[in-house]
Amino acid sequence: MRIRRTTKRIVQIDLLEDRSLMTVAPSNLGPLCEPTTLNSAVIRLSASNQASQALKAIYDSGAYVDGAYDSTTWGIVFRPDVARDGVLKSWESSNWLAFSQTDSLIHSTALPVNDPMASQQWAIAGVDTASVNASTAWSRTVGQGVVVAVIDSGIDLNHPDLKSQLWVNTGEVAGNKRDDDRDGFIDDIFGVNFLNNSGNVQDDAGHGSHVSGIIAAAANNNTGGVGLAPGSKIMALKVLDQYGNGSLNAAVNAIYYAVNHGAKVINASWTMSMGSPSLQTAMAYAANRNVVVVTAAGNESVNNDQVPSYPGSYRYTNVLTVGAVDSAGHLASFSNYGPSSVDVAAPGVRIMSTTAGSYQSWDGTSMASPYVAATAALIASLRPDYSAAQIVNQIKATAHRSTELAGKIASAGYLDAGAATDLAPYVAPKVVTPVPPTTTVKSTTPIAKPVWPFRKATPVRRSPVRKK
């Protein structure tokens, strides 16, 4: 559906969703990305004097020695047309071979290999042109330790793919009806409902849950799909009601709450047609405190350079405004664009994710924005020393360039999380223990006077005095 803009200052969900229910795929899926195994093996000779016999057998079989670990342990590679396992079997009866071992597949522990819907997530699975290159990113990080604030319609607190992914306010005691951390909200355990200033962030629209699942749906739990940053935690800040509308004040207060409670990334999949001094001040507050703000560009098929859409049109160095592409990398027909005001594109068509108690496939720049927010979380996890501006620039600089997006998207590309996470490892600064200053301590023991070897006084020679 198309969201109608009004002259009132109303925050609205920014989406075009095809709300068709996804079917569950078989649970025996293999890894999303299999590394290539060379037609190779490692062999150990029975003795070093068997080298010449071993070399002849290796060369006769169509293989070659690729390196040696020591004088009797060699790595060998067979030609692609050679049946490696059969040749190794035939060598078992020889007197020169002690044992052989074939190469094996290895998988990153971060790779979600048992989430049954993962293959239906084209942006994650890596089989389509505009996929985000998730498997490469996961070989480096899953976003652990990073909090992403989702300013939206809340989150399904009981969803099997979301309930373990919630940020927890450790300063608050659940259920005691007190404001333990004195932040102005009672029992804000998982976030705040700014529509009624309570801690009840249960999603009654589904939109916030869908966005949250794209970012951080749990991995390796044999359930549903997986988020791009499954190691991150979601801070749920509810500003939209069941119809997708909310107030400006709620959105502004949510930004301040997210920054003050430790979120490194904010996702705002909503738009306003009019600017606001209070919203601009909140955005500046996030920028000054080094928090990345990722926003949806909008779904009106317009140029945001000419028709601004807020908050994305506030061009601070910590802001990333996101357009939508389909699986082929084409700009979605509904997506807003802007060569100056829309920074990068990301998957936003047929995006399967979590909804209230279910999984559905939706369209919209609302779905594209959280892929970029998740990538920001991945980078922040890898490089805690990076500023918000550095994270923004890294995502833009590594976007996959497309001639079709040139002149429409500032980076002229769509998201590549694998390239964005190709970073030098973080080196923690050395902690230098200061040397305590030297202090002079006065002794309370009296100092004995030295005994000098006094000499006898030399007699003074006097001239005789004559009487006159």
User: Domain-by-domain residue ranges, the chain?
Assistant: 10-28+109-420, 40-102
Phi, psi of 388 (to 5 degrees): -60, -40
Mark whether 330 is an active-site residue. Answer: no
Between the alpha carbon of residue 39 and those of residues 43, 84, 368, the distances in Å are 13, 7, 40
The single residue of 14, 115, 161, 207 carrying the catalytic annotation is 207
- Predicted local confidence at residue 425, as pLDDT: 84
The single residue of 366, 369, 381, 402 carrying the catalytic annotation is 366
Pick out the chain residues at pLDDT < 50: 1-8, 15-37, 104-113
Calpha distance 156→41 (Å, rounded): 50
Calpha distance 396→5 (Å, rounded): 29
- Predicted local confidence at residue 9, as pLDDT: 54
pTM over 0.75, yes/no: no
- Please return the burial class of 274, using the count of CB atoms within 10 Å of its CB with bins 0-12, 13-18 and 19+: middle
At the topology level, CATH places domain 40-102 in Alpha-Beta Plaits (3.30.70)
Tell me if domain 10-28+109-420 and domain 40-102 are identical in fold. no
- Predicted local confidence at residue 405, as pLDDT: 97
- Predicted local confidence at residue 327, as pLDDT: 96
The single residue of 14, 115, 152, 188 carrying the catalytic annotation is 152
- CATH no., domain 10-28+109-420: 3.40.50.200
Mark whether 48 is an active-site residue. Answer: no
- Predicted local confidence at residue 130, as pLDDT: 96
Mark whether 400 is an active-site residue. Answer: no
Between the alpha carbon of residue 8 and those of residues 154, 245, 247, 350, the distances in Å are 23, 11, 10, 31
Calpha distance 133→353 (Å, rounded): 18
